[in-house]
Amino acid sequence: MIRYALACEHDHEFEGWFGDSADFDAQAARGLLDCPLCGSKSVRKQIMAPAVAGTKTRGVNTPDQPTRQMMMEAMGRMRRHVEENFDYVGDTFASEARAIHDGTSEERGIYGEATPEEVKGLLQDGVPVAALPPAAPKKTEVN
């Protein structure tokens, strides 16, 4: 596995784990990568120092397996909470979020789909939005 520091066209920084460098390139070419903050599909690798194994630990901040598992479980609980308690509005998310923000629609929690351009417009207009954590992959989809 290789960890890359990534950024989208809006300079949101995040990281991704890949089988190898060709895996990143293949996923990017197929449009499978997106920013977890705004949904932008324009994702690039950032310059980062390699993590080289040595005799001394230098404070490299990579989560250990129990920490990673705990984070994945917390994201899964958050996603389930949203799916169980918020209204799904499908691809009308941007217009409904704007209507709620403007006070022309009932205030409530919603979730759905929006294009990166729609998300950018909402953020620029001060409409609070956040990306929903991705669903956990099915066991049959994991190598």
Domains in the chain: boundaries: 2-45, 65-133
- Would you call 16 helix, strand, or coil by DSSP? strand
* DSSP structure class, residue 45: E
Cβ–Cβ under 8 Å, residues 62 and 15: no
Helix, strand, coil fractions of the chain, as percent rounded to 5: 35, 15, 50
Residue 111 is predicted with a pLDDT of 94
The first and second tokens of residue 79, run together, are: 């996603």
Spatial separation of the C-alpha atoms in residues 12 and 15, rounded to whole Å: 10
> pLDDT tens digits for 69-117?
888 888 888 989 999 999 999 999 999 999 999 999 999 999 999 998 9
> pLDDT tens digits for 10-62?
888 888 888 877 888 888 888 888 888 888 889 998 876 565 665 555 555 66
The first and second tokens of residue 112, run together, are: 């759905």
Cβ–Cβ under 8 Å, residues 132 and 79: yes
Q: Give, to the nearest 10 degrees, the angle between helix 93-102 and helix 116-124.
A: 10
Cβ–Cβ under 8 Å, residues 110 and 93: yes
Residue 46 is predicted with a pLDDT of 86
